[in-house]
Amino acid sequence: MVNLEESFMGKKVVITGGLGFIGSNLAHKLLSLGANIVIVDSLIPDYGGNLFNVEGVKDRVRINIADVRDRNSMDYLVRGQDYIFNLAGQVSHIDSMRDPYTDLEINCRSQLSLLEACRHHNPEVKIVFASTRQVYGVPDYLPVDEQHLLHPTDVNGINKMAGEWYHILYNNVYGVRATSLRLTNTYGPRQLVKHNRQGFIGWFIRLAVDGEEISIYGDGTQKRDLNYVDDVVHAFLLAAASEEANGQVFNLGGEPVSLLEVAKLLVELSPQASYRLVPFPPEKKRIDIGDYYGDYSKMRAVLSWEPQVPLRAGLERTIEFYRRYKEHYWE
């Protein structure tokens, strides 16, 4: 069994995208384990970086406002680090279709920039990369395991797939230890909720907190799995601390639930809110994957990970957080 405090106490850690949703929650947890943290974030508008995400701990971390695509910056920042949690990226599927070149730059070139910096200046580092279930595209079968063919339905999925395999390649060829986690729908405090282009769950939560109507595309029966951010952070830590994870890709996942069930639960927790079914917008229908839920049995077998936070409890915590700190996330 991995002892996380032993693994991270006094260790030097870089978190790219560390002012974003998962990265900032990871920073909070790593600080509690005694790590020394450098946060790297470009703070590109609409991508999720938010200085309030490190409120209360910002004097205990070093924040470097830099773009991972900048090779010179990365050559300097990776030196002497024990771990790199690589969460920098463009995650909007809609934006990737509207502006594929930017998505290519951020999700491919930036990964090579980081990996080349590690290869030349810190080949002993361990990297955990944030990939996505979007690499699978429309599922051929459910639940989706890691043996499923990769046939993404949008530019973002293609570029994230390439970014993931750059990491595995550098692990296999250059010995730069790397692991990739294929995340599903992560939710929780510090998530970007300013717009609806980064997945449904954050936007649903915002509408519920505001007491507004939640629009569900189609008939609402499409299934998804959701992970509370604390469970996802735990997965990253286990992957980083385990040598068995090197060169491996892992699905995260949870119990499948329909979008209609999620909306009903949010309305139950925020009775002033409501929901209705609406037709799919054409641009979203073209890249919709239908039902998806992942098989995380490999993660459970190799790293002893499985989600711990039930959906209701996670949504309650999230709604409470946004009601308290709404002014910092609604702008």
pLDDT in tens, 109-163: 999 999 999 999 999 999 999 999 999 999 999 999 999 999 999 999 999 999 9
Which stretches of 33-82 are assigned E, i.e. beta strand?
Answer: 36-41, 62-65
- Give the residues across from 12 on adjacent strands: 36
Domain range enclosing 112: 4-188+227-254+294-308
Q: Is residue 247 part of a domain?
A: yes
The whole-number average pLDDT for the span 21-45 is 95
Q: How high is the mean pLDDT of the chain?
A: 95
Torsion of CA 57, 63, 69, 74, to 10 degrees: -110
Has residue 70 been placed in a domain?
yes
- Token output for 226: 């959701």
Share of residues in the chain with pLDDT > 90 (%): 86
How many Cβ atoms are within 10 Å of 324's Cβ, its own excluded? 10
Dig out the tokens for 133 from the structure: 């279930």
Give 56-79 pLDDT, tens digit per residue.
999 999 999 998 888 899 999 999
Is the residue at 279 inside a domain?
no
Grouping H, G, I as helix, E, B as strand and the rest as coil, residue 279 is coil
205-240 confidence digits (pLDDT tens): 999 999 999 999 989 999 999 999 999 999 999 999
Q: Is 184 helix (H, G, I), strand (E, B) or coil?
A: coil
State yes or no: pLDDT of 327 exceeds 80: yes
Number of folded domains in the chain? 1
For residue 52, which phi and psi values (nearest 5 degrees)? -65, -20
Give dist(CA 185, CA 193) in Å, integer.
14
pLDDT band at residue 280 under the 50/70/90 scheme:
confident
Distance CA(292)–CA(132), nearest Å, equals 12
Q: Residue 48's pLDDT is what?
A: 80
At 235, the amino acid letter reads: A
The secondary structure of residue 89, as a DSSP letter, is S
Q: Are 131 and 249 in contact (CB under 8 A)?
A: yes
Strand 257-258 versus strand 185-187 pairing type? unpaired
Separation between Cα atoms, residue 50 and residue 31, nearest integer Å:
18
φ, ψ (nearest 5 deg) of residue 293:
-155, 140
| pLDDT tens, position by position, 308-325 | 999 999 999 999 999 999
- The CATH number covering residue 154 comes to 3.40.50.720
Residue 265 lies in a domain: no
Q: Count the Cβ atoms, other than its own, within 10 Å of residue 82.
A: 18
Sequential DSSP letters for 161-191: HHHHHHHHHHHHHH--EEEEEEE-EEESTT-
Q: Is there a domain that residue 269 lies in?
A: no
User: In angstroms, rounded to a whole number, what is the distance separating the alpha carbons of residues 290 and 253?
Assistant: 16
Contacts of 271 (CB under 8 A, 6+ apart): none
The predicted model gives 175-188 an average pLDDT of 98
* Count, residues in the chain: 331
- Asked if residue 130 lies in contact with residue 156, where contact means CB atoms within 8 angstroms, the answer is no
Is 261 a member of any domain?
no
Inside any domain, residue 86: yes
Q: Quick check: is 56 in a domain?
A: yes
> What are the tens digits of pLDDT across the range 248-273?
999 999 999 999 999 999 999 999 99
Is the separation of the CB atoms in 178 and 128 below 8 Å? yes
